[in-house]
Structure 1
Amino acid sequence: MYIKLQRKVFMNKSRKTKLLNYLLPLATVGLAPVAILSASCQNNAASNGELEKIKKELEQKEQELREKNEKIEQLEKEKKENEEATPQNDNAVEVEVSAHNFKNFNQEYTIQEKNNVNAYKIKDDKSKVVYVDLDEFLKVLDGLVDLKLYSSYIDEVKNRKVYLSKEKNGKTLNKLIVDWKENKIFTTSTSFFHEILKPQELTDGNQFLEIDYESKNEDDKGVSFDLGKYHMDILYKDGKLLLPFSVFNTLFMSQTFNNIYFNGKTFTNLEAGLDSWGSIEDEPRTRIRHDSGLSGQKATVEERKANFNHLAFTMDYFYGLKYYKQIESFESFISAEDKAKLLSTDPEQYNKAYVNIFHKQLNELHTRLNSFSYYETQWDQELEEKLQYPNDYGKYRIDFENNRKMLVDKFEKKFGKKISKFGPDDYIRYHGNTAIVTLLQFEDGTQEDIKGPDAWKYDTYFLMRHLMSEVSKKPEIKNIVLDIAINGGGSVNSMVRTLGFMTDKPILNREFDILNRRGDLSKSKVDTDGDNNYDGDAYEKYNWNLLVSLNTFSAANQLTSIVKEMGIAKIIGKRTGGGMSAIMPITLIDGTTITISSPNNAVFGETNKEIESGVEPDINLEYDDFYNDKKINEVLEKAKTNQSA
């Protein structure tokens, strides 16, 4: 049940208003008209040099005056706001507090296990919405969160708390404002949630990269999350700022590729989410699912409403393809039947709605179910064991999987072995003066993974180094085909490193964040030989080409787009499969785990053109010829002839 808290009490206004009354008169003292100064200076000018000097002094004074006037306007605005402000709090609201264990299972961060982590609930609230103290929980996450990279202050007059993300030198980067009166959270940029984090401990995603960044915002409005619109409250009680835990999890954890599960008994942090990256270990699964005591139980009607509200909040703000698919809101997009099922207390019913919405209606590969809720009777069963193919999937996924199976069969037949049995040299083959190099995904290995001789198994960069070393031993090779026809994507940084083997030009990677309305351009140089020298490392003497298909997806689709924009290779094959968004893992209140297309979208060119619908090849090649090396060579030679003509 949504409780619109009426029990707000008034507090004394701060002394800030009084201070402003003193500041305003003082700020206006001693401001001389510019025209008088200008005339006086001109009369005394003895030379062009002096006039130029005086001109600069006048410009400086004018700038100082403008800044003072702007400061005065800001002070007047703040004074008016303070006079009109109505300080409120939720001290009269009765809450129940319970203490719980917290444990981290994301190995990229060292976070100490803790007991007595508080969860708050409003007394007699049938929705049983859990709140957390924002400041307390950020401290619980010390090890993931760098407590030195942000500061905060309370402004009770304006009913808000302000958090500032900072560089190590103290410079402010972005601002987060939590307004408990309006039930809104504002940030100048969602980069705030990343700026307060420590770096990963095991994996260095930027290794062998030298990157320059450019960003351009469409406006400076920032991002405002309206919790009240989704029947959610922010509480300020007894000096504590209490956020709905589900909102805290989405904003601070999901965006940073973590998710915390609260099953009523324990807090458990995972990288991404339950079964988001395949099967997880037994300990966290048991802790999250079995130990909850909710298996085989049913949520209340009010709990299902709260779960729906959080789902709608998440999809409306964070679903990255909402504009591409012309979705006005999550609630208007889904059917009345699916909404009724989502609100049902029967797990079988709301699971059907989850499957229909995320697999069939949205019908794209980055958005999918990972695991069902805490209430599943068979708590240890993975989702893939419960879903039926093709009945529980959308048309695009079915077409994608059928096409991939066809290509994989042809590929394995070509080599006479299963992909799972491949060694490093199996990823390359030769025909005449052409080398065909195959990459099946883009991976980042941990620092431990890449130490040994089998680093190629874990990190695409080291596989490419090996393959290009082998190609270099054959002087007859003139052409290289990079085969990413069955490459489903992976790490963007790994993909950029791969492009560094093809060109010495800075790799232009364009992305557009639809939530922040910001275009980002990274320009990357790649150290392909690991000698800390980023110049002249590429294998530009070869005639590079790409082989792509419907199954060239996500980061592989993004690579194809970059190649097309930069003109560093010919693209042959079929239109790529799209997948322009980064992914974002989400945990709902009921424990259901989903992955969605995030607001961060890869785009093409300076106009930020979408690539969700795929990238068209330069030269068509039928699927039957994808592993016909003679045919590929003929296509390349014909393309060269046409180009020279």
Structure 2
Amino acid sequence: MKKIIKKLSISFLPLLTAPLIAAKCFGNSIVTTNQNYTVERHTFVNAVKDYEHIGKEGIDTYYFNNDRIPYVSVKQALSALEGVVNTKLIKIGNAFNVLHNKNYQIYHANGASLKFNWENNVIEISDPRVFGILSGKKSIGIMHNLTPLSFKSTYINGKPQSIKFGLSKYNWKIHAVNKEPIIPLFVFNLLFLSQNYYNLRFNGSEYYGVDINTIIRTSPNALSELTNKFKINPETSAQRQDAFQSLRFVFDNFYGLAEEKKIDKVGFESWLDPSIKKDILNRDPLIYNKGYFKALHGQVNELHTSVRQFNYYTPLEYTDNNYIKSLVKHSLDEYKNKVDPKFNSKWLNAGQLRTKLAALRERAIYHDDFESRRLLKVSQTINGLRLVEGNVPVVRFLPDNKSAVITLDSFSAAPLENLTNNPEENYIFDSLELMKYALDVIQRRSMETGKEINNIILDISQNDGGNVAALYKLIGLIKGKQDRKAYSYSFNTLTRTLEESVYRAEIPNKYLDKNYKWFLLTSNLSFSAANALVAYTAADKSSPSSRNVQIIGQRTGGGACAIIPIVLSDGTMIVVSSNTKIMTKSNDKHYVSVENGFEVPDKYKLDYEDFYNDDALAKLVSKK
């Protein structure tokens, strides 16, 4: 979730050109040769439609001392990304940069500072909000029906401390060219872009701006493949060392569960099994990708951390889904046989449980759906795979005639301009609209039958998370007219701050008038935002409305951290648990991480085989 911050209207200084250099044009590139570095200008292509890129130049890529590790100028790269980046937010410390004689440069944004010290090789920040510089998306956004009321940040050590990243430890340097910092492309990507869910991917010829869902390696004829220089230039040993150092930097500094995994005690390099490090350092893409799977899906072994996309050195045929599945299985089998015989894969367990519950739910016979619309499922048709309505009603009614079940498989929020005033038309795209549609059906049935519904079971047994804005709206709906507020608590492991946010959900009164008793049907698949729903309702003992919410079924799957998509220095995209860790209030003064999930009281436990048995559900919610 992005904080609400004050934007500063300031100008961005133009790039100063370096003196005494020779420039040559080669196609779309400008190649500059200096005594110890070479600069190539590469085209930038924004592949995320929600951003309107207006920059007029490519991105200058620096190579020092005949090495193949790419570096970029902070100033020039930000300027090239104009439109994706709101450069008006950024101010450089010294307006008379040509007279600047210090061994550092300071950038300012959002009331925070960022210092590049090329003598000590240290990047120092006063607060991570200095990186909140991406432009607002062209879409009206997904925060509609949600009003921010307050935000409070408290340093657990009593006072703020700057955050320092020493680059020498990872064999990187901050170079100064024309008194401006030149830093590794990986470091620029991670600091300025990844934390905003945007990244640069580089194929040796072009830069592509992508978000977490963008896939640009689609076929041999795709532009990014036709211009891919890396497929004919195998990686060097130095590049593999650099790729490992980038992975190490992520887990040493930006991994939210470093304490739980005991990485913080020894550092990632010492924590990681030596055989996995050896695989990652291998120059063969097949072997080092197996190393990544062993590291992230094996030794780390938590569902918020995974390999997302292979790099441009990896042959395109390796990106086939079936091939990836077999590679993951083979990698984890090797990990169990050679590293940890007691290994129990959370990824494989979740996949097996998902298959089981999906089959049970699709085959279930439901008591009364009152002609409710169905949830969509992927189905094979004569025209290929299509989304069609399946067997599962959005809302159904139990035999006791007092209880309804609403099924919600993800938290999604559609932009306001994509919504109509009819929830039935929008339930597929937006969680709040699905809830409104279900409540409309409940009300219509009550009027036609004269039977009032008092209990609502919200089935999140196959919900593995999603959008936090959608989550907060749903919390407001569940709390009802007396509150409508979502209170969220999180701990930032980087800044060591406890952060409390309050939002009010703006929901029509007709959906708030009824005081329902809510039950949350959970399983080990109820993960991330679904786990947070339990944390901020049933488990929030400081909230009076928690008495009206009860979890039933099986223990939730946990998941405490927001995710962050990161592109390693070799171009591999991974996703990890970020520094923002969800907490719940055990009382007014104590907060507890929700990483390990929430247990269901014994009297409300249900066997998985009965999760979609309407008679069993009716019996369960009748318990006092």
Q: TM-score, normalised by structure 1?
A: 0.78
* SS in structure 1 at match of 2:246: helix
560 and 247 in structure 1: CA distance in 2 versus 1, 3 angstrom threshold: same
The two structures, once aligned, show a CA RMSD in angstroms of 2.5
Q: Distance in 2 between matches of 1:413 and 1:113?
A: 53
Could you say which residue in structure 1 is the equivalent of 2:622?
637
Give yes or no for contact 1:138–1:145 (8 Å, CA) kept in 2: yes
Once the two structures are TM-superposed, the CA of residue 321 in structure 1 deviates from its matched residue by 1.1
Distance 2:320 2:191 in 1: 27
> 2:358 aligns to what SS in structure 1?
helix
**Residue 247 (structure 2) aligns with:** 311
Q: Give the conservation status (yes or no) of the 8 Å contact 2:493–2:579.
A: yes
Partner residue of 1:524? 503
Structure-1 separation of matches of 2:189 and 2:161: 24
Stretch moving more, 593-602 or 562-571: 562-571
**Distance change (3 Å), C-alpha of 1:302 and 1:392:** closer
2:522 counterpart letter in structure 1: V
Report deviation, 1:423: 7.5
Answer yes or no: is 1:102 the counterpart of 2:44.
yes
Q: Is the contact made by 2:55 and 2:83 (CA closer than 8 Å) also made in structure 1?
A: no
Q: 1:548 aligns with which of 517, 522, 527?
A: 522
Distance 1:151 1:522 in 2: 28
Partner Cα separation in structure 2 for residue 516 and residue 415 of structure 1: 51
Distance 1:287 1:519 in 2: 45
Closer/same/farther in 2, CA of residues 390 and 263 from structure 1, 3 Å limit: closer
Q: In 1, are the aligned partners of 2:489 and 2:500 still within 8 Å (CA)?
A: yes
Distance in 1 (alpha carbons) for counterparts of 2:220 and 2:174: 30
For residues 365-402 of structure 1, give each alpha carbon's deviation from its aligned partner in whole angstroms, at most 9, with x where no partner exists.
11111222212233573455333164445611121121
Where 2:263 maps in the other structure, the secondary structure is: coil
Alpha-carbon contact 1:274-1:370 (below 8 Å) kept: no
Deviations 1:268-312 (A, max 9, x none): 10012655xxxx574899344442232264211111112221221
Confirm or deny: 8 A CA contact 2:219 2:316 kept in the other structure.
no
User: What is the CA–CA distance in structure 1 between the aligned matches of 2:220 and 2:506, rounded to whole Å?
Assistant: 38
Equivalent residue runs for 1:354-373 within 5 Å: 354-373=292-311
- The separation in 1 between residues aligned to 2:83 and 2:294, in whole angstroms, is 38
Q: Is the 8 A contact 1:254 1:272 kept in 2?
A: no
Q: Give me the whole-angstrom Cα distance separating, in 1, the residues matched to 2:263 and 2:41.
A: 40
Separation in 1 of the partners of 2:249 and 2:290? 20
Does the alignment pair 1:187 with 2:125? yes
Q: What's the offset of the Cα at 1:165? A: 1.4
**Cα gap change, 1:423/1:623 in structure 2, threshold over 3 Å: closer, same or farther?**
closer
Which residue among 436, 451, 463 is the counterpart of 2:405? 436
- Determine the C-alpha separation between the residues in 2 that align with 1:357 and 1:324: 16
Q: What residue ranges of structure 1 are gaps of 5+ in the alignment?
A: 1-90, 167-172, 530-534, 640-645
Contact 2:186 2:568 in 1 (8 A): yes
Runs of 4+ in 1 over 6 A off after TM superposition: none
1:472 deviates by 2.1
Alpha-carbon contact 1:106-1:270 (below 8 Å) kept: yes
The Cα shift of 1:327 comes to: 1.2
Aligned counterpart in structure 1 of residue 439 of structure 2, from 468, 471, 477: 468
Match of 1:628 in 2: 613
Would you say 1:561 and 2:535 are equivalent positions? yes
Going from structure 1 to structure 2, the CA distance change for 1:205 and 1:448 (only over 3 Å counts) comes to closer
Shift of 1:422: 3.1
Shift of 1:193: 1.0
Correspondence for 1:426? 393
Alignment pair present for 1:601 and 2:581:
yes
Residues 309 and 390 of structure 1: is their aligned pair in 2 closer, same or farther, counting only changes over 3 Å?
closer
**1:171-229 CA distance string (max 9 Å, x none):** xx2111111111111111112211x2222222513210112212112241132111111
Distance apart, 1:250 and its partner CA: 0.7
Distance 1:371 1:203 in 2: 29
Q: Could you say if the C-alpha distance between residues 414 and 356 of structure 1 is closer, same or farther in structure 2, counting changes exceeding 3 Å?
A: same
The aligned runs of 1:264-279 (5 Å cut-off) are: 264-272=204-212, 275=215
Partner of 2:477: 501
Residues 1:148 and 2:110 aligned together: no
2:472 alignment partner, SS class? helix
Equivalent residue for 2:134? 197
1: distance between equivalents of 2:272 and 2:139?
41
- Which residue of structure 2 aligns with residue 300 of structure 1? 236
SS of the aligned residue for 1:387 comes to helix
Match of 2:415 in 1: 446
Q: Deviations over 1:31-85 (max 9, x none)?
A: xxxxxxxxxxxxxxxxxxxxxxxxxxxxxxxxxxxxxxxxxxxxxxxxxxxxxxx
Report the counterpart of residue 571 of structure 1 in structure 2: 551
Say whether the 8 Å CA contact 1:121–1:131 is kept in structure 2. Answer: yes
CA distance in 1, matches of 2:514, 2:495: 37
Q: Distance in 2 between matches of 1:294 and 1:629?
A: 56
- Cα distance 1:517–1:259, how it changes in 2: closer, same or farther (>3 A)? same
SS at match of 1:601: strand
Aligned in 2, Cα 1:308/1:425: closer, same or farther, shift over 3 Å?
Answer: closer
Partner in structure 2 of residue 610 of structure 1: 593
Which SS does the other structure have where 1:236 is aligned? Answer: strand
CA gap 1:449/1:282 in 2 versus in 1, 3 angstroms: farther
Does 2:75 match 1:135? Answer: yes
Deviation sequence 1:446-502 (CA, Å, 0-9, x none): 344324853221111111111112222215111111111111110011111111211
Q: Which residue of the partner structure matches residue 25 of structure 2? A: none
Distance change >3 Å, CA 298–CA 500, structure 1 → 2: same
Counterpart position of 1:162 = 106
